[in-house]
Amino acid sequence: MKNFLFLIFTLVNLSYADYFEHPESQEIINELVEIHGFDKKYVETVLKDAKKQQKIIDSISKPAEFTWTWERYKKLFIEEKRIRNGKKFIKNNLVTLERAEKEFGVPKEIITSILGIETRYGKILGNYRVIDSLTTLGFDYPRRSAFFKDELTKFFLLTRENNLDIYSVKGSYAGAMGYGQFISSSYRAYAIDFDGDNSVDLFNSVDDAIGSIANYLKVHGWKRNGKIVTGSSLNNVREIYKPHDSLSKFIPLSFNEDGKDNYFIGDDNFVAITKYNRSHFYAMAVYYLAEEFKK
């Protein structure tokens, strides 16, 4: 009985009181202190404050992009209100969107579409503390532990570089932040100052968000005046891509709508969108919503 109780105690104890006590935290503390020069006490205090949230693990385990049907996914994003607000967003931010289009080659409708899908044009930035998300997923979600531990390190760096309060920054369950939902590594690498105030602020500056999305796509292979998809029948695709074109560089896609499969080939700019979110549903929704803005 005593051994049994001891076993129970041990099992319960596997859930650590805080992330400072977690056996894997020492490695990150060392890295932050020794390589990046953070104060040890500060890092420990932050990790002590971080909280595990089961909801975060539940959410990442069943993302809509990979568990829903295309029709359900499409209905969520390509709807009247999002289309209307997107057209309004374009009208209100036309000068900045056109500047981004000129500089990076990414059409205003695509930038707007990503903002609409990510955060309803900045209305929903996420309600999880990023420090909770990244510790929960870094330490308690083994499947992607290495990735999120790295994001945790980058988040410490990002908050120091951009003067953000590490305790209060909020984002998605996966630690994505601001208008365009950039994760820490992307924020540091691809976010830019596009309103000229010398700070890169994806939480409050719409202009910075617009420029950063355009810059991200350009760096990830977006081609000015390039194609996103070609379709919608395989025969059509074969006619458009003559034998000299290498079909292997394109992505064959099939989306079931109204009970029939529609076939597309994802071109360079489709691939670029999948660098933003690797789901094909996501990239297709970005394309569809952008087309709606033109109507």
What DSSP element (H or E) covers 35?
none
49 binds Ca ion (CB under 5 A): no
* Token output for 41: 């006490």
Kindly give the residue spans of alpha helices, DSSP state H, lying in 130-170: 130-140, 145-161
CA 235 to chain centre: 34
Closer of 208 and 267 to Ca ion (Cβ): 208
On whether the CB atoms of residues 225 and 105 are closer than 8 A, the answer is yes
Instruction: Provide the terminal-to-terminal Cα distance of the chain, rounded to the nearest Å.
Output: 72
- CA pair distance 255, 286, nearest whole angstrom: 14
Which of 101, 118, 151, 292 is catalytic? The answer is 118
Smallest distance from Ca ion to CB 231, Å: 39
Per-residue x/- mask for Ca ion, residues 204 to 243, rule CB under 5 A?
Answer: -x--x-----------------------------------
Q: Is 291 in the site for Ca ion (CB under 5 A)?
A: no
Phi, psi of 256 (to 5 degrees): -85, 120
Rounded least distance, CB 169 to Ca ion, Å = 17
Which residues from 101-160 bind Ca ion, rule CB under 5 A? none
The verdict on 100 binding Ca ion (CB under 5 A) reads no
**Shorter beta-carbon distance to Ca ion: residue 142 or 196:** 196
Cα 252 from chain centroid? 23
Residue 197 Cβ, how far from Ca ion at the closest point, in Å?
A: 4
- In the beta sheet, which residues pair with residue 152? none
Q: Considering the rule CB under 5 A, would residue 197 count as an interface residue with Ca ion?
A: yes
Shortest gap between Cβ of 25 and Ca ion (angstroms)?
34
Query: Looking at 195, 211, 271, 280, which residue binds Ca ion (CB under 5 A)?
Result: 195
> Active-site residue 118, yes or no?
yes
Cα distances from 256 to residues 29, 72, 87, in angstroms, run: 48, 11, 27
Strands 170-171 and 128-129, sheet pairing = antiparallel
- Name the residue nearer to Ca ion (CB basis): 195 or 292: 195
Rg (CA), the chain: 22
| Three-state DSSP class for residue 51 | coil
- How many chain residues interact with Ca ion (CB under 5 A)? 6
Shortest Å distance, C-beta 198 to Ca ion: 7
Residue 161 lies near Ca ion (rule: CB under 5 A): no
Which residue among 193, 203, 262, 279 contacts Ca ion (CB under 5 A)? 193
Active site residues: 118
Residues that bind Ca ion (CB under 5 A): 193, 195, 197, 199, 205, 208
